[in-house]
Amino acid sequence: MQKDQILQSRQTDQPLDVLILAAGLGTRMKSARAKVLHKIGGLPLITHVGRTAMSLHPRKIYVIVGHQATEVENAVKEEFGGLAEFVMQAEQRGTGDAVMSANTYLENSDSLVVVLSGDVPLLKAETLDSFIGEHQKSGAVCSVLSVRLENPTGYGRVVRDDSDQFARIVEQKDATVEERQIKEINSGIYCFTADKLFSALARVQPTNEQGEYYLTDVPELLLADGEKVNVYLHHDPREVYGVNTRAELAEFENLVRRNTVRKLMLEGGVTFIDPSHSYISAEAEIGRDSIIYPDVAVEGKTSVGENCEIRSGTRITNSNIGDNVTIKDHCVIIDSTIESNCSVGPFAHLRMNAVLEENSVVGNFVEVKKSRLGRNSKSMHLTYLGDATIGERTNIGAGTITCNYDGKNKHQTIIEDDVKIGSDTMLVAPVRVGKGSITAAGSVVTEDVPPDSLVAGVPAVVKKRLVERNDEKKG
Ligand code: UD1
Ligand code: CA
């Protein structure tokens, strides 16, 4: 669904605020890190929720933070731009208390408050939009989004009255044996009229099994006030699963990953040899007719062009790969660019803005750091290229090292076009090898090599002027 459609299905005169609960530690994660910071698809849970919230074009997004507040803020600050208001809940006394932390902002507001949980990452914007649309149509002051679960264990149950209308929510721990049979559960996603929400919240008491202030008590209180409370039963329970344990985190990762790969196959025309062993970030793009072998990880904002072949054991992170590129087995490519028609690996390592220009080749056990390899150039075996700029049609022999570090500073190596660097050459930077030159095998190049020269030795000296020889031949 397009964003403008999303706006259309809502009444736009009532301001909309989103409130995201994200203060809890998530004890069942057995982690020192706050639950909402754990990642699926390479992004923190809170970021997934934040993106869904943003799609509603809210007036403000209130994020209730507590555990690792600064880290949680940092995870979504950029995403939210100026819309975010981070509210501290110093002590986690329950979901009701969490919402109460935002009362100074919202208690007198007539806005529509949409409450989301920071640990429910798969909710779709479309679902939320129809939920809000239904809520507004119903004239209720509170709507609860529910789903039916085959195994509702752990969730709050939606109790309905004799005429099948909403009666209350009861938490697992407070439920009777009969209530625990109920399969309709509270997703933890709600719409409220702001002032009604806060007037009811003020009356919530922690008189329950957990001694917490439950947000789930609010709908019942509103009902008792004679207000209308609505339940919206959603058909797809997977969207509202909350992450509570590492096992669930892994299940979600799997689900997200399967969806990403499936979409790339069905819509993107990408071949996966084994979809269940392919790890592609939701933010990555892969072009048509590319083939991804098992155990490839494509992370972050990576783009891979058309007709590429990526072999097993390779990891590509935040990089751009052109068309018709072959990446052989077990390469690590981070923050780098590989232009079209290149071949890389096996066992190559590209990092820190390495750039391979069109048609160039990097072979086995070659590391390229902060370096540019020009068009039609090759570095095939056992080489370190660091802080180097290499021209076109240049060949870097086996075992070449750019000695870029003198113990204090990094220095540049420049190798111009049409150069042949002999096997086992040490290029002691800063150094420049002129166009058309050759270094003999085993040279230690400590001084600039003029164009069209052959150097050899330790340290390397000019042995021959190649152009003169050519001129002599001509004469
Ligand atoms: C809650 C609901 C339950 C529902 C389930 C759906 C209550 C009392 N129960 O239970 O009915 O079925 O969600 O997933 O609301 N949080 C805070 N501050 C707190 C406590 C929690 O910010 O003091 C945050 C947590 O970080 C989390 C969210 O609120 O993001 C939900 O809290 P959690 O403890 O996971 O609630 P559940 O027990 O899952
Ligand atoms: Ca939960």
Tell me what the mean pLDDT of segment 348-362 comes to: 98
Question: Which residue from 88, 95, 216, 249 has its CB within 8 A of the most atoms of ligand 1, so it is best to mutate?
Answer: 95
Q: Give the DSSP letter string of 267-314.
A: TT--EES-GGGEEE-TT-EE-TT-EE-TTEEEESS-EE-TT-EE-TT-
Taking the model in full, what pTM does it have? 0.85
pLDDT band at 10 (very low <50, low <70, confident <90, very high): low
- Give, in degrees to the nearest 5, the angle at Cα 373 between 385 and 431: 55
8 Å CB contact between 277 and 292: no
Is the pLDDT at 473 greater than 80, yes or no? no
Q: Which ligand is nearest to the CA of 64?
A: 1
Pairing of strands 303-304, 285-286: parallel
* Token pair for 372: 């540019």
Q: Is 63 helix (H, G, I), strand (E, B) or coil?
A: strand
Question: Of ligand 1's atoms, which has the minimum distance to the CA of residue 185?
Answer: 12
How many A from CA of 53 to the centre of ligand 1?
18
pLDDT digits (tens, 9 = 90+) for 224-261: 999 999 999 999 999 999 999 999 999 999 999 999 99
How many A from CA of 311 to the centre of ligand 1?
43
The helix (H) or strand (E) run that includes residue 322 is: none
Q: Where are the alpha helices (DSSP H) in 68-109?
A: 69-80, 95-100, 103-106
Question: Of ligand 1's atoms, which has the minimum distance to the CA of residue 213?
Answer: 8
Cis ω before 152 (30° cut-off from 0)? no
How many A from CA of 258 to the centre of ligand 2?
23
Q: Whose CA is nearest to atom 8 of ligand 1?
A: 214
- Give, in degrees to the nearest 5, the angle at Cα 434 between 429 and 440: 75
* Token pair for 320: 């751009």
Question: Which residue from 65, 117, 119, 145 has its CB within 8 A of the most atoms of ligand 1, so it is best to mutate?
Answer: 117
Q: Is 112 helix (H, G, I), strand (E, B) or coil?
A: strand
pLDDT digits (tens, 9 = 90+) for 389-436: 999 999 999 999 999 999 999 999 999 999 999 999 999 999 999 999
The amino acid occupying position 407 is: G
Q: Whose CA is nearest to atom 25 of ligand 1?
A: 24
Question: Of ligand 1's atoms, which has the minimum distance to the CA of residue 91?
Answer: 23
Structure confidence at residue 1 (pLDDT) = 43
Q: How far apart are CA 98 and CA 96, in angstroms?
A: 5
Q: Which ligand is nearest to the CA of 118?
A: 1
How many A from CA of 242 to the centre of ligand 1?
9
Q: Which ligand is nearest to the CA of 239?
A: 1
pLDDT digits (tens, 9 = 90+) for 442-463: 999 999 999 999 999 999 999 9
How many A from CA of 245 to the centre of ligand 2?
10
pLDDT digits (tens, 9 = 90+) for 102-157: 999 999 998 999 999 999 999 999 999 999 999 999 999 999 999 999 999 999 99
Residues serving a catalytic function are: 381
Torsion of CA 63, 66, 70, 75, to 10 degrees: -50
How many A from CA of 95 to the centre of ligand 1?
5
Pairing of strands 355-356, 444-445: unpaired
Helices (H) and strands (E) in the chain, counts: 10, 40
Is the pLDDT at 158 greater than 70, yes or no? yes
How many A from CA of 388 to the centre of ligand 1?
53
Question: Of ligand 1's atoms, which has the minimum distance to the CA of residue 98?
Answer: 18
- Name all residues whose Cβ lies below 6 A of ligand 1: 21-24, 64, 89, 92-95, 97-98, 117-119, 155-156, 169, 171, 185-188, 214-216, 242
Mean pLDDT score of the chain, rounded to an integer?
95
Is the pLDDT at 6 greater than 80, yes or no? no
Q: Whose CA is nearest to atom 36 of ligand 1?
A: 95
Q: How far apart are CA 248 and CA 29, in angstroms?
A: 9
Is the pLDDT at 209 greater than 70, yes or no? yes
Tell me what the mean pLDDT of segment 21-30 comes to: 93
Question: Of ligand 1's atoms, which has the minimum distance to the CA of residue 242?
Answer: 14
